[in-house]
Amino acid sequence: GEAARALEMLDAYDAEFPSGAFSVEVAVLRIEALARSGRADEARRLGDRFLKEHPEGLFARRVTMTLRSVAPAPHDPLTPTR
């Protein structure tokens, strides 16, 4: 689907521009694409790393919202229990 195609394009960008000017944006798009494609564990791993490196700002909020949309991690204190 579209998420898989987005991941292919992001891989191609990373291969051509490993230290590209849009590396932060690419990381956010990759996290979102992983989440949409059902790869929650990968999205969460990359998202957690991203938030450690970029804890504030618009992209941090976007990644946080993306991570909340995927299956909750057992250690996530922000996810209510049922």
> What pLDDT digit, counting tens, does each position of 37-77 carry?
999 999 999 999 999 999 999 999 999 999 999 966 666 55
Whole-model pTM over 0.75: yes
Can you give the length of the chain in residues? 82
Average pLDDT, the chain: 89
Please tell me whether residue 53 adopts helix, strand or coil conformation. helix
Identify the residue whose tokens are 């690419």.
Answer: 26
Q: What is the pLDDT of residue 73?
A: 62
